Amino acid sequence: MNNTRGRVWLALVVGWGCLLALPTGAVAQMPDVPPVAEAREWLARMHDAARRGNYRGTMVLSASGAMSSSRVWHFFVGDQTYERLEALDGQQQRIYRVNDEVQTLWPQARVAIVERRGTLALVSTTPQAVDPRALEHYVLKHEGVARIAGRESLVFALEPRDDLRYAQRLWVDRASGLMLRADVLGPGSGAARPVLESAAFSEVEIGVKPPADVQAQASPRLEGYRVQRPQPQRTQLEAEGWTLVRPPAGFRLTGCVKRPLEGPADAYVGSEPALQATFTDGLAHVSLFIEPHDPRRPRAQMQAHQGATTTVVMRRQDHWITVVGDAPAATLKQLAAALELRR
């Protein structure tokens, strides 16, 4: 499971998280499209309710015809957050988080990467809330009720107001407000829209008591591991000589860092670090990477899709631009085209 997959799992569980727990009679009275103020209030409460929830279960991800599963748990004790994710298929991978420190372990390779949430390459285990500002670009709709993982849930859709982003359908546990399932939908209308990616609990326990040693369980021992601690440097696009001209509507810059190039320690001596800028429209997330062209690192322009994640790689004179995110390829290309070197 790579960083993108980790982002999907934990973001769906923790971040898009929670709506109000509604009484039974309220569902029939709920309008298909709630007033903006009411929808904004629901979104504002999602993150607060989600980050204080205690749950554990198994989630199944389906994307591009492939399926994988992970065991996840999340506990909030006092003002401390503890998370753990373990891939159950393919290469062994475990992700642990205590507040802002994230540790990613590959037990078979005996490698551990320790990072801070604010500088992760994509989003990884970072809890991602639906920012209420997303309603500037999406319409929240109520679509009824359903049963997921043995629990009754409310079904909502976030419909984009333009073709720059994907629609999403969310299933929310009625009793607790925990997200039980989320689908990312491709272009189209009604039932004809393809499901690009789906993540859902196959089983879940909600409101469970945190274990007495919760901090120890979220802080693995690293003896015997080769520990890597990437040290990205915070910066700004303008400070690095770049600027954005007419980026896709709604996508705002949320951060920018410089990262060392990956590879053998002596392979790229003298090379500039890669520059990474992150963007969001309140729901979708995009990372843009700028790397210096180096003839020692052969590569080609390309475009690829995996589930809801699109990757676009473009050559821009002496630089390579890579854009990765859960948005249509046209949006990523527009973002890359908006980038200009001013020096």
Q: What is the pLDDT of residues 184-218, one digit of tens each?
A: 999 877 667 899 999 999 999 999 999 999 999 99
Residues 176-186, buried b or exposed e (16+ Cβ, 10 A)? Answer: bbbbbbbbbbe
Q: Assign domain 3-217 one CATH number from 2.60.120.380, 3.20.190.10, 2.50.20.10, 3.40.50.720.
A: 2.50.20.10
Q: What is the pLDDT of residue 129?
A: 53
Structurally, what CATH architecture does the domain formed by 231-341 represent? Answer: 2-Layer Sandwich (3.30)
Interatomic CA distance for residues 197 and 332, integer angstroms: 18
Q: Do domains 3-217 and 231-341 have the same CATH topology?
A: no
Phi, psi torsion values for 193, nearest 5 degrees: -70, 130
Interatomic CA distance for residues 195 and 184, integer angstroms: 6
Nearest CA to 283 out of 328, 251, 260, 315 is that of: 251
Q: What is the pLDDT of residue 118?
A: 62
Interatomic CA distance for residues 170 and 341, integer angstroms: 40
The dihedral formed by the CA atoms of 6, 12, 15 and 20, expressed in degrees to the nearest 10: -170
Domain segments of the chain: what residues? 3-217, 231-341
Q: What is the pLDDT of residue 44?
A: 65
Q: What is the pLDDT of residue 12?
A: 38
Q: What is the pLDDT of residue 134?
A: 84
Q: What is the pLDDT of residue 42?
A: 66
Q: Which residues of the chain fall below pLDDT 50? A: 1-29, 120-128, 263-270
